[in-house]
Structure 1
Amino acid sequence: MTSTNKAAKAVTRKPPAGAIKAYVASLTGTSLEYYDFAIYSVASALVFPKIFFPGNDEFVALLLSFSAFAVGYLARPIGGVIFGRLGDKIGRKYVLVFTLVLIGVATVLIGALPDYSVIGVAAPTILVLLRLAQGIGVGGEWGGAVLLSSEFGDPNKRGFWSSAAQIGPPAGNLMANGVLAILTASLSEEAFLSWGWRVAFLASALLVVFGLVIRLKLEETPVFKAIQAHGDRPKAPIKEVFTTQPKALVAAALSRVCPDILYALFTVFVAVYATKELGMTTGNVLSAILIGSAFQLFLIPLAGALTDRFNRRWVYGIAAAATAAYIPLFFLMIQGKSVAMLTVGTVIGLALHAFMYGPQAAFITEQFPARLRYAGSSLAYTLAGVIGGAVAPIIFTALYGAAGGGWYLIAVYILVASVVTIVGMLLGRDPKPEEDVRLMQGTHAQPAA
């Protein structure tokens, strides 16, 4: 074993200084931001077609609402470029503070936005603009949140430490669906559509303040401090990623496709299918998603830790293959219109997602050298979102309509997504924790070929 590898192993004995605080900060920050994003996701399926896109055929209104939903994903690369560049030039901390504020303000304004009956076409127009702001913020948030926990944590256990930011989406989804479930259970449908849904959006103001208090107390990551000390900050990180890391960028981006589409299926489209095709209530669907998200809180860090012990790419690829096999089974399970089977099926589906999403942050970030991690990770994450989560609800709806309410085309779509992600695993590289160790010891970490 080389001296560098011995040093890398030595740091595993106990959590590095500040690692636990950074883990909590990364988890809580992304949880708060994805709460904002998640309430929009649910509202786009259940509320917005009725109050922001009225006067259309029900199917057309749903497509318009999902198109507005997609804007948030389409805007993510903008955030990835802007904040990815800043994250590698000025540091992780201050970028994360700004993204938190941006998403929080946009979400509160959506909650206060008059609907179509009050201000006409201006309502959906402003909604799209605010969704754009949300997407830009999330596009810059993810890369920094991942680096916050992973660069404080043990590089040999990057799967676990990086999972902090990955817990954010299901935690945020759990909070969002919990709030919406309470509102739908306690209010009439008329009251919920009139003002009840706004409560969930406006409540995010309190959550953002809480998140800001935590993030403002953080220090910059040790890895970025070392890059600063070496005078090795890139002048044009975005350009450098495209010119020197094309294979890494492609591998990291493809890794996102299957988990993104799978998540959209179980947190957005299932709400449409179960209510319209199976006749279940909104409360039934929200409860199923709520339970599935609760399981993910434990499965995501478990999956991340598992890939620190076993080959990360193999665990990830096996989960992608299992997803392709499971989707037909899921739809067969719920044809009996059983709420219990819907819940069990959703839990299993989100568990498969967890075994890809848990190690995803580690896989993506370790494709890039430390000095380009924020830009590279953000670009891969956001660009993949455009072909994954952004269009998934629209494609699901179109395939559902084309198949006359059938699910077969949706299963084929998931199969293709699984193959794409497996290709990403084959193109990617395995972890090289010694690169961070060399950097921290005072020598430049060189990216693998």
Structure 2
Amino acid sequence: MPIELKMPALSPTMEEGTLARWLVKEGDTVSSGDLIAEIETDKATMEFEAVDEGVISQILVAEGTDGVKVGTVIAMIQGEDESAAPAKAAKPAPTEVKAEAPAAPPPPTLVATPAPAPATPAASSGDRIKASPLARRIAAEKGVDLAGLTGTGPNGRIVKADVEGAKSGAAAPAATASVPAAPAAIPDFGIPHEVVKLSNMRKTIARRLTESKQTVPHIYLTVDVRLDALLKLRGELNASLEGRGVKLSVNDMLIKALALALIQVPKCNVSFAGDTMLQYSRADISVAVSVPTGLITPIIVDAANKSLSTISTEMSALAAKAKDGKLQPHEFQGGTASISNMGMMGIKQFEAVINPPQAMIMAIGAGEKRPFVVDDALAIATVMSATGSFDHRAIDGADGAELMKVFKEFVEKPLGLVA
């Protein structure tokens, strides 16, 4: 019988997506692992692979269609050993079904776990787990147990996104609270305006930040940090790296400083998970990057144990991919803490909103010349304000203060960043 090709959940927060482009057409033969479509999720534009062999007998959702719910049938595949006739019996695409169809099932509930598709546990035949060859290879490389995954492909098949999501997001808490929808309309009071459609990313940002401020008790702690020694060391390091294609930024060094501080103050390298708390032994730093459709946080994995040049190279590559919408799930899912730097925009100080399930985020302001007491005398120094936002359910004020103190020490005595 024909195989239904359904809209997959390509990120933990994805409820719907935009079918940006078909890479195949009706009548094309596809094999497992072939790329068949590009799908815009709430985070990036991602490639969707086939998990079955056969012929594309019917495309049910046109490219460019947005708001396609996870689980919607988007195409039909005719098995290689079947005639084309059964394709006529394919179910109509539920994408076109509007709210007036009361029998339609509700969309999946948002949860903070990898690949929250409305799928059942991974389908199997006897003792054989159904998974695409690419998913099996990635699982073998990463040491992921396929038996514990939920497949989002056709008939519960495990696909690449399921394995990648499990690798980076397996430690997330069970579920997040639902957030009330915004009012359907607001008065414009006769003011000239245009209606701007929200991107999938902007919708997700609005939902998650509302959820964070409503459910996470934030505590804010600010320190003033002298940057003169760090700027001097940065200049010396960049001189030594000249010709190697690496130029360290202040942000690269602050990423390393935060990572080292989290390792030294492990009580802040945590996630709150209801009756339990996840205590991380590795510092993965999510770095806020502004993109045309909103904000995304690619991750420098194990930043405490990487050299500054490695952090700089990885950050440049991740930022470029983020701006092109080409980040893969494992590059932005996870992280144990975040850093957001608005200093280059001249912002002196701000308080950032925590990105659950993380329990802290560091907000970095501009480095500027200020009157400052140096060796008990008033002098001019380059100073920045750094504000840590902490989830008070998981992190006490004293522990947050200790992290800010250690972070300040690493920045003001920066040789510890290269030791």
TM-score of the alignment, normalized to the shorter chain, above 0.5: no
- The structure where strand makes up a greater share of residues is 2
Question: Greater Rg, structure 1 or structure 2?
Answer: 2
TM-score, normalised with respect to structure 2: 0.22
TM-score, normalised with respect to structure 1: 0.21
Greater length-normalized contact order (CA 8 Å, ≥ 6 residues apart): 1
- The structure where helix makes up a greater share of residues is 1
